[in-house]
Amino acid sequence: MDITGRLTANAAIRQAGEKQVVGFSVAVNETYRRKDGEKITLTDYFDCSFWLGTGIAPYLTKGTIVELSGRVSVRAWLYNGEAKAGLNFNVAKIKLHGGGVKANSENNIEVHEAQVIRDEATSNDEHDDLPF
């Protein structure tokens, strides 16, 4: 499954057992026109987890446009004795499209299995010092 949207806040790294995971939220807009011509925009919010490398976290800043590939999972927890459940998007691949503090639209970068894969059209040597 693929989704494209904007990060709603800066990503955070958290400890999950012995591993670290990058957590972030993405807003995905869908716009359509009703028969009367009125424009309607619906927004869905996805809580996301990226387990393949924490080096991407500084580039996942509020407003950054990201293209994500992965799968949806259900998670359940107790909050004040009350059972809660929610959906989580487990990210397998991230492509940054820009808009955040460290990312920009001229440097499209994909992260897959904690490796950087650059678009051929934007690949150059000035980004060889990326930390992931």
pLDDT band at 75 (very low <50, low <70, confident <90, very high): confident
Is pLDDT at 99 greater than 80 in this prediction? no
Position 120 scores a pLDDT of: 38
User: What value does the mean pLDDT take over residues 22-51?
Assistant: 94
Average confidence (pLDDT) over 62-87: 92
pLDDT at 121: 40
Second-level CATH architecture of 2-121: Beta Barrel (2.40)
Q: Nearest Cα to 99, choosing from 24, 29, 10, 25? A: 10
Give the confidence band of 60 by pLDDT, cuts at 50, 70, 90: very high
CB contact burial 16-33 (16+ within 10 A = b; e otherwise): eeeeebbbbbbeeeeeee
- Amino acid 126: pLDDT: 43
Cα angle, residue 75 at apex, residues 74 and 81 outer, rounded to 5°:
140
